[in-house]
Amino acid sequence: MNAPFPHAMLAAETDPPLIRFEGVTKTFSAGPAPVTALDGVDLDVRPGSIVGVIGRSGAGKSTLIRLVNGLERPSAGRVIVDGREIQGLDEAALREARRSIGMIFQHFNLLSSRTAADNVALPLELAGIGRAAARARVAELLDLVGLSDKADRYPAELSGGQKQRVGIARALATNPKVLLSDEATSALDPETTRSILDLLARINRELGLTILLITHEMAVIRGVAHEVAVLASGRIVEAGPVFDVFSTPRHPLTRAFLAGEPGFALPPAIAGRLVPEPVENGQTVIRVVFRGAHATEPVLARLARDEAIEANILAGTVDEIAGRPFGVLVVAIPSGAETAQALGFFARHSLTAEVVGHVA
Amino acid sequence: MSPELIRLILEATLDTLAMVAAAAGIGGLVGLPLGVFLATSGPGELFAVPWLNRALGFLVNVTRSTPFIILVVAIIPFTRLIAGTSIGTGAAIVPLTVAAIPFIARIVEGAIREVDGGLVEAARAFGATPLQIALKVLLPEALPAIVLGLTLSIVSLTGFSAMVGAVGGGGLGDLGIRYGYQRFMPEVMAAVVVILVLIVQLVQTLGDGLARRLNRRIRRA
């Protein structure tokens, strides 16, 4: 069993989870030694939420998402989707269940032999829906993703972003309750990624669609997810609302993922000179996280005025995460008494501050 | 060239076309599903029947590794059973077909295996049955490669058909050997070669064109 946060974080919620992993373990026995891809994972996905699972390659993310629609079966534990235990279903029941679980893919997986419209129609054909009804639905879906004018184009004639829009339209064809996103933006440039994430957020908002996504990019989590789970070696090492995880990351891996985010990264010249112990007449580097209302307060000006401490700004950003203002500043102040004084000042202003290191 | 010779050449051309068309047609009808099955019946695959997959794979390899001229002779009893005789153009269709089936099956198998596994996974994720995956995903996606493979098969069969003179089959190859070689008539040999080249060129051009039309992976204006 894993750390308690996934279930604990939702304790206040009344809705039963739409997706629930209970003590899920998956071992692959192919090859000389069995490989444990997932090791006792507990995770809840509430209806209407966007939950992101982040992990490095090999962490077990792909296995995790494939358990939801039964492309993989757990070695132990239960996967419950919309009240149905997926691991117990036979092939026919599984096919039926899959029609209420849409999926999009890193490499889009569109049929090259079909036009955009015919690709979107595929799940409808598979479900035995008549041509006329399917055509109307396809037009509606292409309109939703903004590709009505590309209906008769083949995938080879579309850009990456357009292909993923077709993928999204296809995934939504059978009106699923859940959308699984398997690294859906990993093959796209940042700008296109942004537009696809915006589309996912809009679908979540307008259709109330629950989204479970896996990614290796913190930017994707920041851009679209409400809740995040950090997966390492098949275990969830940290989970919670995205805002909380960004503002108070606990696990080293979470910090490592955040290190690439704007405001978290130190300028290389500083990072290279950091030492763990204070240096006489040196400076102490402190990372201050501004949350919510504090993000807009002139805290450093007050630090100078009230405490007579001059902070040198090394890096920083102000952004919005999950709709709430969020800022990170990395500052250097003189080591010694001032450090404790400044940390006390930040604490009084309800700001999270931590000493990153010291420089001479 | 005498009118008699021209008539012979014309007749031989029609014989060759008939033999190749019949062998390719029947070979395709059997080889296509066999190839799909070979590509999808391995362990853990769509229609997993590993023992049958191995057995059919072995049979295909045996047939393919037997030189055609030996195959023709080796299966004479089978030819007699099917065609009622082991001699003549009609009977020659039997060994040609027997050679065509595994050839086409392997080519179709290769084409199907080239289809991106992600497409199969996507279809499974949308609730497709194995049969739906084969018919709606694998075959349409592999179609351009299958058409090219069938073209290659027809070209090879045209070559094989030249050997059936050994069992009294007709056709251009037989004519070339009997008149061009044994009766020292180089003009007949030349005519036979030219006609064969034209047939192969025509088949290849048609096959390439059709495959290109079917291939939607190429961006065109």
User: Which tens digit of pLDDT belongs to each residue from A198-237?
Assistant: 999 999 999 999 999 999 999 899 889 999 999 999 999 9
Q: Which residues of A touch B131 (CB under 8 A)?
A: none
Any CB–CB contact under 8 A between A172 and chain B?
Answer: no
**Residue A168 to chain B, least CA–CA distance (Å):** 12
Calculate helix-pair angle for A116-126, A131-144, nearest 10 degrees: 130
Nearest residue to A202 (alpha-carbon basis) of A50, A47, A51 = A50
What whole-number distance in Å separates Cα of residue A51 and Cα of residue A226?
6
Q: How many CB atoms lie within 10 A of CB B101?
A: 25
- Name every chain A residue with its beta carbon within 8 A of the beta carbon of B217: 112, 156
Of A105, A156, A180, the CB nearest to B218: A156
For the purposes of burial, counting CB atoms within 10 Å of the CB of A17, is it exposed (0-12), middle (13-18) or buried (19 or more)? buried
Residue A273 CB-half CA count within 13 A:
14
Residue A337, pLDDT above cutoff 90: no
Residue B118: which of A105, A127, A174 has the nearest Cβ?
A105
How far, in Å, CA of B167 to CA of B90, rounded?
11
- Whether the pLDDT of residue B203 is over 90: the answer is yes
Q: In this complex, do B127 and A96 lie within 8 Å of one another by their Cβ atoms?
A: yes
Q: What is the pLDDT of residue B211?
A: 93
* Cα separation, A264 vs A218, whole angstroms: 12
**What dihedral angle (degrees, nearest 10) is formed by the CA atoms of A31, A32, A37, A40?**
140
CATH superfamily of this structure's domain A5-100+176-258: P-loop containing nucleotide triphosphate hydrolases (3.40.50.300)
- The residue ranges of every structural domain in chain B are 17-169
Q: Record the tokens describing residue B182, joined without a space.
A: 């044994």
pLDDT of residue B164: 85
Q: Considering Cα of B168, then B174, then B175, then B178, what sign does the dihedral take?
A: negative
Report the chain A residue with the minimal C-alpha distance to residue B215. Answer: A113
**Cβ atoms within 10 Å, residue B7:** 10
Instruction: Please name the residue that has the structure tokens 């419950």.
Output: A80
Give the model confidence (pLDDT) of B151-194 as tens digits. Answer: 999 999 999 998 887 777 888 988 988 888 888 989 999 999 99
Quickly tell me which residue has 């919510």 as its tokens. Answer: A292
**pLDDT value at position B220?**
55
pLDDT at A295: 67
Q: Which residues contact A309 (CB under 8 A, 6 or more apart)?
A: A303, A333, A334, A338, A341, A342, A345
- Phi then psi for residue A110, to 5 deg, are -90, 150
Distances (CA, A) of B173 to A315, B40, B64, B168: 82, 38, 21, 11
B3-36 pLDDT, tens digit each? 889 999 999 999 999 999 999 999 999 999 999 9
- Chain A residue with Cα closest to B218: A156
Q: What is the pLDDT of residue A321?
A: 80
Could you give the percent of chain A with pLDDT greater than 90?
Answer: 58
Q: What percent of chain A has pLDDT over 70?
A: 95
| Spatial distance between the Cα atoms of A340 and A346, rounded to a whole number of angstroms | 10
Give per-residue pLDDT as tens, A106-157. 999 999 999 999 999 999 999 999 999 999 999 999 999 999 999 999 999 9
Top-confidence residue, A308 or B37: B37
- CB-nearest partner of B132 from A113, A126, A154: A126
Question: What is this model's ipTM?
Answer: 0.86
Confidence of residue A29 (pLDDT cuts 50, 70, 90): confident
Q: How far apart are CA A212 and CA A230, in angstroms?
A: 13
Q: What pLDDT digit, counting tens, does each position of B97-133 carry?
A: 999 999 999 999 999 999 999 999 999 999 999 999 9
From B122, B104, B128, select the one nearest B38 (Cα to Cα). Answer: B104
As annotated, the residues of chain A forming the CATH 3.40.50.300 domain(s) are 5-100+176-258
- Does A127 touch chain B if contact means CB atoms closer than 8 Å? yes
Domain span(s) for CATH 3.30.70.260 in chain A: 263-359
- Interface contact flag, B126 A122, Cβ < 8 Å: yes
Instruction: Report CA Rg, chain A.
Output: 24
Q: Which residue has the tokens 């064809």?
A: A173
Provide the CA A228 distance to its chain's centre, in angstroms. Answer: 5
Looking at domain A263-359, its CATH superfamily turns out to be: ACT domain (3.30.70.260)
Question: Is the Cβ pair A98, B219 closer than 8 Å?
Answer: no
Which H helix or E strand runs over A317? strand A312-321
- Please give the CATH superfamily to which domain B17-169 belongs: MetI-like (1.10.3720.10)
What six digits make up the tokens of A114?
């079909």
Per-chain mean pLDDT for chain A: 89
Specify whether the CB–CB gap between A235 and A41 falls below 8 A.
yes
Q: Which of A52, A25, A85 minimizes the C-alpha distance to A219?
A: A52
Q: What is the pLDDT of residues A167-204, one digit of tens each?
A: 999 999 999 999 999 999 999 999 999 999 999 999 99
Give the per-residue SS3 of A40-79. EEEEEECCCCEEEEEECCCCCHHHHHHHHCCCCCCCEEEE
Whether A45 contacts A239, CB under 8 Å: no
- CA distance to partner chain B, nearest, from residue A318 (Å): 39
Please determine, for residue B134, whether its predicted confidence score (pLDDT) is greater than 50. yes
pLDDT at A1: 39
Compute the distance between CA of residue B34 and CA of residue B24 in angstroms, rounded to an integer. Answer: 14
**What residues contact A346, with CB distance under 8 A and at least 6 apart?**
A286, A288, A299, A352, A353
Helix residue ranges per DSSP H, chain B: 3-40, 50-65, 68-74, 76-83, 89-113, 117-125, 130-132, 139-161, 172-175, 186-214
Report residue B219's pLDDT band, with 50, 70 and 90 as the boundaries. Answer: low
* Chain B CA closest to residue A106: B118
Closest in A107, A111, A154 to B140, CB measured: A111
Q: Which of A66-80, A239-253, A321-335, B191-205 has the lowest mean pLDDT?
A: A321-335
**What is the Cα–Cα distance from A281 to A285, expressed in whole angstroms?**
13
The residue-averaged pLDDT of A6-30 equals 74
Interface test with B, best of A62, A89, A126 (most B CBs within 10 A): A126
| Position A12 pLDDT exceeds 50 | no
Q: What is the mean pLDDT of residues A81-92?
A: 92
Q: Does B221 touch chain A (CB under 8 A)?
A: no
CB A21 within 8 A of CB A181: no
Q: What average pLDDT does this structure show over B41-67?
A: 94
Q: What is the per-residue pLDDT across A290-331, written as a single tens digit (0 to 9) for each? A: 877 766 678 888 888 988 888 888 888 887 787 778 888 888
* Cβ-nearest to B125 among A71, A112, A125: A71
Residue A47: the pLDDT is 95
Confidence of residue A5 (pLDDT cuts 50, 70, 90): very low
